[in-house]
Amino acid sequence: MEIGSVDLSADCPSTIVIQTDWNPEAEHGHLYELLKDDYTIDANTKAVSGPLMSDGEYTGVNVEIRAGGPAIGFQTVSAQMYQDDAITLGYVSTDEAIQLSGTTPTKAVFAPLDISPTMVMWDPATYPDVKTVDDVKSALSANGGVWRYFDGSAYIEYLKSAGLADASILDGSYDGTPSNFVAAGGKDMQQGFASAEPYVYQNEVSAWGKPVDFALIHDAGWQTYQSSMSVKADKFDELSPCLTKLVPVLQKAGVAYYEDPSAANALILELVDQYATGWTYTQGVADYSVKTQVDLGLVGNGTDSTYGNFDESRFDDFFTKASKVYTDLGTPPAAGYTPADLYTNEFIDTSISF
């Protein structure tokens, strides 16, 4: 195949392996945009691979995109990257990067999501006066409900330290299924993704079948960069020549995906079906996700005119908050670490934007 205007073959691995943090979904669409329609699916390893394309042209290397979550035993992407040297880039959220900087250090080079989709959702009929995370604690306390979340979620520790939640309203038993939320009949609140669950619960959970309201955790001050594309810290220098050329390709793929997500979403749905992890994903939720990501600003240019970069002041502020939370939990960031150890904008093409 003839190599186009971007040639990665001299500077990058012959196959760029990318480890995601969950089953294929529209939040990962920017990655599947790299493959378009020439790919091979391995249902056993839960991976898809093929020629890495940019603007419809071959870049001289292949890309392999691996599923996370159940496909890697629900362990962190950071841990998986240190177990498998073949992985070039992985999805590592900023809070994970800070917490694990002393054991599995990573450095972020591209932010596909500007705002984390993580949210708390509730029944508007039960809680008509709840509008933000600030309203949740008193409302649940008065009604005897709980906020169900994934055990180990760092933002919960932040909310406790900020006085926005306490043990009396928290339940770390959330397993990703709707059964307990439905059984509570609107009394409880629950963690989720703003770009998925509101559609799923109204349209696909027949036992619920009505709207939910939600508030983004981001708006309560825990402003992590979700699923940042990161490399192992000790591979940063070695991979820098590759990243100089690759990161703008990743930026372009994201812009192209949100302009027309149809091909990548078709691949995502095919992968979910082939991987058969027990997780379901429909065209309806994929379409809702893309629209919601754009409408809520979960994806976009952020505070400037560039897609995929990190905001320095926001990162500094988050580093301070998260460092305190993790120090209190007994997993402080690596000694002497600063935000500059955790991310860089040096490979970002500032001209690429939505």
Give pLDDT, residue 261. Answer: 98
Tell me the CATH architecture of domain 118-220: 3-Layer(aba) Sandwich (3.40)
Give pLDDT, residue 119. Answer: 98
Domain with CATH 3.40.190.10 in the chain: 15-114+225-341, 118-220
pLDDT tens profile 259-308? 999 999 999 999 999 999 999 999 999 999 999 999 999 999 999 999 99
CA angle in degrees (0–180, nearest 5) for 241-244-247: 130
Q: 15-114+225-341 belongs to which CATH class?
A: alpha beta
The band of 216, judged by pLDDT with boundaries at 50, 70 and 90, is very high
Q: Give the C-alpha separation, 287 to 289, whole Å.
A: 5
Average pLDDT, the chain: 96
pLDDT tens profile 295-345? 999 999 999 999 999 999 999 999 999 999 999 989 999 999 999 999 999
The contacts of residue 156 (CB under 8 Å, 6+ apart) are 149, 165, 170, 172
Give pLDDT, residue 194. Answer: 98
Radius of gyration of the chain (CA): 20
The band of 158, judged by pLDDT with boundaries at 50, 70 and 90, is very high
